[in-house]
Amino acid sequence: MLIKKPRDIKSSDITPESVYLDRRKLLQAAGLSGTAMLLPQAARPGDIPARYKKLEGVIKSHYSTSREPNSFEDVTTYNNFYEFGTKKSDPVDNSGNFKPQPWSVTIDGEAEVTGTFGLEDIVGPHTLEERIYRLRCVEAWSMVVPWIGIPLGDLLKRFKPTSKAKYVAFETIMRPGEMPGQRRSILDWPYREGLRIDEAMHPLTILATGLYGVALPNQNGAPLRLVIPWKYGFKSIKSIVRISFVETMPYTSWSDTLPREYGFYANVNPEVDHPRWSQARERPIGAGFFAAKIPTLMLNGYADQVAGLYTGMDLVKNF
């Protein structure tokens, strides 16, 4: 099938190197860098607005890192979610009219159990146990986020994928009336992503339903999003409405639109530069503009857990 590619993507619509520079840059320029350069601190209950729904009975995952998480403000106000706009502040500014309830997800493709299921059937409180994962994640910056979710593999097994299912494809909801970014041809909407099925089944790949003890805010991908901590953030598709088991590598929004810049695997590999900047070093969000960059870790520091998925592969060619 011929996929029409968007032709009017401007350089300003593509994540630039400047994403490393957080919102505190203006404060630092005004002489307030001492405050801006404090290391990220864990959110206190009073830091989380009361409008966010609390999630009860969440247990800790043994995959959690011991590193301190970023602030709730960092995690919820500085995002990539192009359905709401290309600026980092657009998701929180433009997602207030988005309605994540009611919600349903269509499961189709190479599986014995298919159909359309309500949110409670997918991740209801009596379906699967939610865990909190304090994971180090990378978009064009790095941050530590206490995600709440379930292992994606636990969910996928319930649908009994057949031996033909080599990949899992995902699709975001299409609601241009509520998602102003979809009114522009930035990408070939709806947003689509994919994983090899063994990547999808790995216990570190989670279907996130919340963060910091509350349900996912709209700007972070409510009500369901992927989190794959050893990959760059564009793999972590948000507001998922379709999961498909497929036999061949699926279409994915960024890697098919700009294949030279965004590979299908999107693994964090400091030895593979983005064509427009080096990925060998990074600056954690919240550390401040003048903080020193730190070396980027292979597979974002999760090599011990996931390197076996890529045994024998050329991780430069398959980026």
Rg value, the chain, Cα: 19
**pLDDT above 60: residue 301:** yes
Spatial contact of 263 and 255, defined as CB atoms under 8 Å apart: yes
- Confidence at 44, pLDDT banded by 50, 70, 90: low
Give me the residue label for tokens 């997800």. Answer: 105
Q: Which of 205, 224, 174 is nearest to 302 (CA)?
A: 205
pLDDT, position 262 = 94
Q: Among the listed ranges 79-83, 203-207, 221-225, 275-279, which one has the minimum average pLDDT value? A: 275-279
Q: Is the pLDDT assigned to residue 237 strictly greater than 50?
A: yes
Contact 262, 254 (CB under 8 A): yes
- Report which secondary-structure segment, H or E, holds 122: helix 119-123
CB 237 within 8 A of CB 191: yes
**Mean pLDDT of the chain, nearest integer:** 85
Q: Are 87 and 96 in contact (CB under 8 A)?
A: no
| Closest to 114 (Cα-Cα) out of 68, 161, 154 | 161
Whether the predicted pLDDT of 154 surpasses 60: yes
Cα separation, 281 vs 278, whole angstroms: 7
What mean pLDDT comes out for the span 144-160? 95
Beta carbons within 8 Å of 184's beta carbon, 6+ residues apart: none
CA 3 to each of CA 6, 165, 172, 184, 260: distance values in angstroms, whole numbers, following the listed order: 10, 22, 17, 18, 17
CB 171 within 8 A of CB 191: yes
Q: Let me know: does 235 contact 253? Beta carbons within 8 Å.
A: no
Question: Which of 221, 217, 75, 200 shows the shortest CA–CA distance to 150?
Answer: 200
Which candidate, 66, 37, 219, places its Cα nearest to that of 134?
66
For the stretch 261-273, what's the b/e string if a residue is b when 16 or more beta carbons lie within 10 angstroms of its beta carbon?
ebbbbbbbbbebe
- Cα 246 to the chain's mean position, in Å? 21
pLDDT of 134 = 84
Residue 230 exposed, middle or buried by CB count within 10 Å (0-12, 13-18, 19+): buried
pLDDT greater than 60 at residue 3 = no
Q: How confident is the model at residue 15 (pLDDT cuts 50, 70, 90)?
A: very low
Predicted local confidence at residue 14, as pLDDT: 41
pLDDT more than 70, % of the chain: 83
Q: pLDDT tens across 248-285, in order?
A: 999 999 999 999 999 999 999 999 998 998 999 988 88
Domains of the chain: 36-310 (3.90.420.10)
